[in-house]
Amino acid sequence: MTKKQPINPYLPPWEYVPDGEPYVFGDRVYVYGSHDLYNGHVFCLGDYVCWSAPVDDLGNWRYEGVIYPKTDDPVNRDGSMCLYAPDVTRGPDGRYYLYYVLDHVSFVSVAVCDTPAGRYRFLGVVRYPDGTPLGSAPGDEPQFDPGVLTEGDRTYLYTGFCGHGDKSRHGAMATVLDRDMLTVIEPPKIIVPGSSYSAGTGFEGHAFFEAPSIRKFGDTYFFIYSSEVMHELCYAVSKSPREGFSYRGVLVSNGDIGIGTYKDANLPAAYIANNHGSVVEVGGEYFIFYHRHTNGTWYSRQGCAERLTRTPDGGFLQAEITSQGLSPSPLPSKAEYPAYIACNLYLASAPHRFGGDCPKIVQDGRDGDHEIGYIANVGNGMVAGFKYLDFSGVTALTVKTRGYIHGEFEVRTSPDGPSLGSVRVYGSNIWQAHTASVRVPDGVHAVYLCFSGTGNGHLKSIEFS
């Protein structure tokens, strides 16, 4: 069977699964996350779904279906609350346990299933031995964004949320659960500080905000989290699951802030907002899963992933956001690619500004309709970047546009680089192909389409030939 080319986002363009927690169970990678809706008005309106892919074919994702409806929780039969970011662990009994928090409660709920992607059933609430829910006892801080790791008969539960200036929240917490996966046997302990308590800790500027996730590689625990600046996923390491964590760096920023190879490191190259994800090892390689924001809002997020490079001391370099994502090599240039895989998207005149008339990824139809995404708000000064493509013998570019725009797309291999040719487009109320000569040097390059002209339109796809 021919393997499918991986791209970013890695799921179909009509699917919105942020907060991705990837795991290898057997010979497949499973991704668990919350579930946004296209054109959703708040976060996480959908039921939990699961997607999986063979470990040797990371472009071939399979929909596993709804694994847990939000109305299955006894306190949410009317569906008025949303399922926030979950995590899954395999318990001592070999079953799979789903940990989650509803948006209006401060305790952690648990569901269980015999298989990684079957129908999970409500089990109970994480509680102290006397039955008091964790998060409800005197002195407890509210529980949020559970991350879990099981070792032997113990499960380590990581939770927390620390808003800016909120001194009632101290940081990320680690709690130990018994083999029943519900009972607290060691109470919460702060392992990474929030911004109000980060002075002198080494976490300054990258203090804990939300999205705790935990992984263990070798004998080292990696605590992954969203920092106080929200757009980045950071990590800290320790030899112990509940103490001694030290800050190590940024894994990814969904605006590529911190990456200075093709732009000013402090400038975003895509819409920045919250972030959540984790790391998975597949066949000796490491990947960071995260999410991007579409539709010009915070509420229609899509999962993306990048390859990580390990450092000699066992850490990771910050990954650059790309269109190729999980692909082991750059994308072949001579193919038609949908415009929604653009990893860089902004206005050249105001790269810090997003929303309003700025370019954005959208789709036709309603949530759930199997529609291909595209770039809307294509107007004067739009920059769309695709990374990375392997060019060989390219002499022409075709773009498909719609809407009443008049102007041209200049082709460059860096945002401020020389023009390698341009494609002139004109207004149309249907998708229209426009082709022109371009000369992209052979080799691996990013490609940027920079539009100048009048009007406002849509970009569906690009194709080099």
- Please list the active-site residues: 19, 210
DSSP 355-397: STTS-EEE-SSSTT-----EEEEE-TTEEEEEEEEEESS--EE
- One-character DSSP codes across 196-207: GG-TTTT-TTS-
**Is residue 33 within 8 Å of residue 24, measured between CB atoms?**
no
Q: Which residues on adjacent β-strands are paired with residue 247?
A: 236
Residue 238: Cβ within 10 Å count: 16
State how far the Cα of 147 lies from the Cα of 133, in Å rounded to an integer: 17
The SS3 assignment for 209 reads strand
Structure-block tokens of residue 171: 């940081």
H helices, E strands: number in the chain: 0, 29
Angle, CA of 150, 154 and 156, to the nearest 5°:
60
How many CA atoms within 13 Å lie on the side-chain side of 461?
A: 13
CA gap 10, 150 in Å, rounded: 28
Residue 45 contacts residue 339 (beta carbons within 8 Å): no
DSSP string, 240-303: SSSS--EEEEEEEETT-TT--SSS-TTS-SS-------EEEEETTEEEEEEEEE-TTSSSSEEE
Torsions phi, psi of 139, nearest 5? 90, -10
Q: Radius of gyration of the chain from Cα atoms?
A: 23
